Amino acid sequence: MNHLPTRPATRFAALAATLVLALPLTSSPLAAATAVAAAAAEPAAPAAPAKWTTRVFSRVPAPGYPAYVHAHTNGRVYAGTYVNGSATGVPSRVFEWTRGGQLLRSWPVPGQVLDGSQGVQVAQQTRDGRLVVLETSRRRLLTLDVRTGRWKRIATFPDGSVPNYATWGPRGELYVSDYARPVVWRVPPGGGTPRAWFTAPALNGTELGTTGLVYRPGRRDLVIAQQWVLDGTQLPTTGAVLSLGVRPDGRPGKLRTLWRSGPMELPDGFGIGRSGHLYVALLGTNQLVELTGRGVEVDRFPDVPLLGSNGSAVPFDAPCSATFLGTSVLVANQSAITGTAANQAILRVEVGERGRRPYLPRQARLGG
């Protein structure tokens, strides 16, 4: 449902009537006319964009394939380039934009295997402002100091892992989802060896596994997006948004299903609004779906799947994340299936509410 802005003419009429009624009875018609003219001269406040209004925030240069978009506390916006099978010999990059979408600079990722399997996800930030970067070719957890350009390796995940999304926990631990294995990893406060903190058949998606991961401190749970759920509890090719409790002693709690997707919708990254609503990117059907905090679907955009028609110059093409910036979400348009360079962009989609900042505790530090 779209939010219809108040018509300027209606606002003007109401203001003029108020001014006329507020005039003393001895005021002349000329004074009344002057007051009305003064009201008319005041510029009307710009109307807020209608819900789901979409525009291009920025195109993403080569090597393209943008992943999760991170809105930093320094006011800048960051995204990495993800797996690109054709980009042999080309390192992944981390790009930086202003909040208005102006590209400022970028950094190549050092030490990658450049066989086409390379990719990076700017997954989080530390308390002191370094970017938390997940690198796929060598399964590394890295940090990038955007003030100095210095990279640092923090940890390496076991063979067969594809580190995907990350979120801070209540004690300064870092939880990391794994796209290839049914595991949520836990990196201890300050850094160290990742440990398999939680594993379950529900996180087994074969080639289409676990994606978005966000900690909700008010509910003390991790919200997890799963592209396919192959544990027999639902139809194959359908995904889910799950809730996994975090107990006060730091152990995992119960895993519950909040919402089940349709076939091949492939839920990916998501943002959480101040209302508690979740805005989830559906990579498979080129849509965004809005859920309540308990997983009830309330809206989706666009209505027609697959076509990606959003009213902007760039259609949705494998949208893979939704990050709040003001009252809109930044959607990374990865074009992972078609590989269309012209569609590899970050789109800004109005949702009509502000978002909750990603959880960033005081202990959110890595590497000293």
Each as own residue / partner, the long-range contacts of residues 176-180 (CB below 8 Å, 24 or more positions apart, any chain) are 176/123, 176/134, 176/141, 176/213, 177/210, 177/211, 177/212, 177/213, 177/224, 178/203, 178/209, 178/210, 179/209, 179/210, 179/211, 180/209
- Res 292 pLDDT > 60: yes
Sheet holding 195-199, edge to edge: 163-168, 174-178, 183-187, 195-199
pLDDT of residue 57: 98
CA dihedral sign of residues 188, 193, 194, 198: negative
pLDDT of residue 247: 97
CA distance 185 to 196: 5
Q: For the whole model, what pTM was predicted?
A: 0.87
pLDDT of residue 34: 47
CA distance 181 to 346: 28
Higher pLDDT, residue 269 or 6? 269
pLDDT of residue 42: 58
DSSP string covering 184-230: EEEEPTB----EEEEE-GGG--TTS-EEEEEEETTTTEEEEEES---
Residue with tokens 């590899």: 344
Q: What is the pLDDT of residues 140-177, one digit of tens each?
A: 999 999 999 999 999 999 999 999 999 999 999 999 99
- Res 35 pLDDT > 60: no
Does CATH number 3.20.20.120 belong to domain 54-350? no
Q: What is the pLDDT of residues 188-200, one digit of tens each?
A: 999 999 999 999 9
pLDDT of residue 39: 45
Which H or E run includes 13? helix 8-22
Please give, one letter per residue, the 3-state secondary structure of 108-161: ECCCCCCCCCCCEEEEEECCCCCEEEEECCCCEEEEEECCCCEEEEEEECCCCC
Domain ranges of the chain: 8-41, 54-350
Q: Answer yes or no: are the C-beta atoms of 160 and 181 closer than 8 Å.
A: yes
pLDDT of residue 117: 87
HSE on the CB side for 299, CA within 13 Å? 13
CA distance 28 to 56: 52
How is residue 289 annotated by DSSP? Answer: E
Q: What is the pLDDT of residues 196-241, one digit of tens each?
A: 999 999 999 988 999 999 999 999 999 999 999 999 999 999 999 9
Q: What is the pLDDT of residues 310-363, one digit of tens each?
A: 999 999 999 999 999 999 999 999 999 999 999 999 999 999 999 999 999 999
Report helix angle 8-22 to 29-41, nearest 10: 150
User: 147: exposed, middle or buried (C-beta count within 10 Å: 0-12, 13-18, 19+)?
Assistant: exposed
- Res 33 pLDDT > 90: no
Q: Answer yes or no: are the C-beta atoms of 322 and 283 closer than 8 Å.
A: no
CA distance 309 to 152: 41
pLDDT class for 83, splitting at 50, 70, 90?
A: confident
Mean pLDDT of 112-117: 92
- Res 36 pLDDT > 50: no
